[in-house]
């Protein structure tokens, strides 16, 4: 009979955080399994141009994803495509269930990411990357001297609208209510910015354009009237959803579903680490995800080394 494979670490997700973690763990000669339900690269695969990743003045998101993926496997990390249904805690081994199959591991690095909430209106999907964006830091510079729309009224929406005024000639915040939900100090900055205008009590019903965004159809929530509002780009900030269903029973997330970690990417469950956009954090970028992944990998390495010492003292095979 073939002995059951027990990995040193299973990495849940193959975005920039997960792939970086795989480079570090496999270079440390840890047996590594990386699991991803979609294409390796996460949100990078949906980003046309990346201009703020060191070493590349500009690079296509899919190209950077492929380079990272090839690097992540260079030192022997294994890769499985599948969806993780559940991660179970245990001692000495954790269990990761992927499409009904169980994998045993000494440690887990969560890197499942988060996804932007979509408006779900006509034109949004079709024009994504062609004027529709969910990241001002990533794409703002492409809209120099153009007129933009920001959808939302929370902290992120207002802060990103302020950031976009560095490039755009005008930024209009469209909000479904008659007042913003953002913190008062952030609101004041927006109200004081001459480049920012507001359309209250309106929702975006459709994003229009022939190959590129040319405007949005907006609906007055009071009168029901629909009008077309011209613009060159639409930035959508109505929230993000962390992909944490697989760990919902472990008690490692906050009320919004994001994973809570310390500076070493340790969760409250020993042997389970977390990195990237799935974590509660202020900045979600490729560069911050890779940093998280490297830290989580080193923490995982130290945990596994200590675990193996414990098991040896107990005369248990590892």
For position 250, what pLDDT does the model report? 97
Looking at residues 170-177, what average pLDDT do you find?
98
User: For residue 65, what is the DSSP state?
Assistant: H
Q: What is the pTM of this model?
A: 0.79
C-alpha 127/C-alpha 252 separation (Å) is 36
For position 138, what pLDDT does the model report? 81
Q: Choose the catalytic residue: 139, 231, 246, 277.
A: 139
* CATH number of this structure's domain 6-115+240-313: 3.50.50.60
Residues 101 and 53: beta-carbon distance below 8 Å: no
User: For residue 180, what is the DSSP state?
Assistant: -
How buried is residue 7: exposed, middle or buried, by Cβ count under 10 Å (0-12/13-18/19+)? buried
> What is the percent of the chain where pLDDT is above 90?
84
For position 316, what pLDDT does the model report? 78
In this structure, is the dihedral angle defined by the CA atoms of residues 258, 259, 261 and 265, taken in order, positive or negative? negative
Residues 10 and 20: beta-carbon distance below 8 Å: no
Range name among 130-144, 221-235, 246-260 with the lowest pLDDT average: 130-144
Looking at residues 90-113, what average pLDDT do you find?
97
From residue 216, alpha-carbon distances to 111, 121, 154, 163, 270 in Å are: 35, 10, 20, 21, 49
Between 42 and 252, where is the model more confident? 252
Q: Is it true that 6-115+240-313 and 132-236 share their CATH fold?
A: yes
C-alpha 126/C-alpha 208 separation (Å) is 10
Residues 97 and 88: beta-carbon distance below 8 Å: yes
Show Cβ contacts of residue 75 under 8 Å, excluding neighbours closer than 6 positions: 23, 26, 27
User: For residue 45, what is the DSSP state?
Assistant: G
Show me where the domains of the chain are located.
6-115+240-313, 132-236
Range name among 47-56, 65-74, 121-130, 147-156 with the lowest pLDDT average: 47-56
Q: What is the 3-state secondary structure (H, E, C) of 269-300?
A: CCCEEECHHHECCCCCCHHHHHHHHHHHHHHH
Range name among 26-30, 182-186, 313-317 with the lowest pLDDT average: 313-317
Q: In what order do the strands lie in the sheet with 215-220?
A: 202-208, 215-220, 226-230
Encoding tokens for residue 60? Answer: 């296509």
Is 138 tagged catalytic? Answer: yes
Show Cβ contacts of residue 145 under 8 Å, excluding neighbours closer than 6 positions: 167, 168, 169
Is 231 tagged catalytic? Answer: no
CATH code matching the domain that covers 132-236, chosen among 3.30.70.270, 3.40.50.720, 3.50.50.60, 3.40.50.970: 3.50.50.60
Q: Choose the catalytic residue: 63, 89, 135, 155.
A: 135
For position 286, what pLDDT does the model report? 93
C-alpha 318/C-alpha 303 separation (Å) is 14
How buried is residue 102: exposed, middle or buried, by Cβ count under 10 Å (0-12/13-18/19+)? exposed
DSSP bridge partners of 102:
97
> What is the percent of the chain where pLDDT is above 70?
98
Distance in angstroms between the alpha carbons of the first and the last residue of the chain: 18
Encoding tokens for residue 2? Answer: 């073939």
Looking at residues 31-35, what average pLDDT do you find?
98
For position 1, what pLDDT does the model report? 36
Q: How confident is the model at residue 47 (pLDDT cuts 50, 70, 90)?
A: confident
Q: Choose the catalytic residue: 8, 138, 231, 277.
A: 138
Looking at residues 88-97, what average pLDDT do you find?
96
């Amino acid at each position: 009979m073939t002995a059951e494979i027990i990995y040193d670490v299973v990495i849940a997700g193959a975005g920039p955080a997960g792939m970086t973690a795989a480079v570090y763990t496999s270079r440390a000669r840890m047996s590594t399994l990386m699991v991803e339900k979609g294409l390796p690269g996460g949100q990078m695969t949906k980003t046309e141009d990346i201009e703020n990743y060191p070493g590349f003045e500009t690079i296509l998101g899919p190209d950077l994803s492929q380079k990272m993926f090839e690097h992540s496997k260079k030192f022997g990390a294994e890769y499985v495509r599948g969806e993780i249904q559940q991660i179970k805690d245990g001692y000495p081994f954790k269990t990761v269930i992927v499409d009904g199959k169980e994998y045993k591991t000494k440690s887990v690095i969560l890197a499942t990411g988060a996804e932007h909430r979509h408006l779900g209106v006509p034109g949004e999907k079709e024009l994504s990357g062609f004027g529709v964006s969910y990241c001002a830091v990533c794409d703002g510079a492409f809209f120099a001297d153009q007129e933009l729309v920001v959808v939302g009224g929370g902290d992120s929406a207002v802060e990103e609208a302020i950031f976009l005024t560095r490039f755009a000639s005008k930024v209009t915040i469209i909000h479904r209510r008659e007042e913003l939900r953002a913190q008062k100090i952030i609101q004041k900055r927006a109200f004081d910015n001459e480049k920012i205008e507001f359309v209250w009590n309106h929702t975006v019903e459709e994003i229009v354009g022939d190959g590129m965004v040319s405007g949005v159809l907006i609906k007055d929530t009071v009168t029901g009237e629909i009008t077309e509002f011209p613009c060159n780009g639409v930035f959508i900030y109505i929230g993000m959803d962390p992909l944490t269903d697989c760990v919902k029973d472990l008690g490692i997330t906050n009320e919004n579903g994001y994973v809570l970690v310390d500076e070493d990417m340790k969760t409250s469950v020993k042997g389970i680490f977390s990195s990237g956009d799935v974590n509660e954090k202020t900045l979600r970028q490729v560069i911050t995800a890779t940093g998280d992944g490297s830290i989580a990998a080193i923490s995982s390495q130290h945990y596994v080394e200590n675990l193996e010492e414990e098991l040896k003292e107990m005369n248990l095979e590892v």
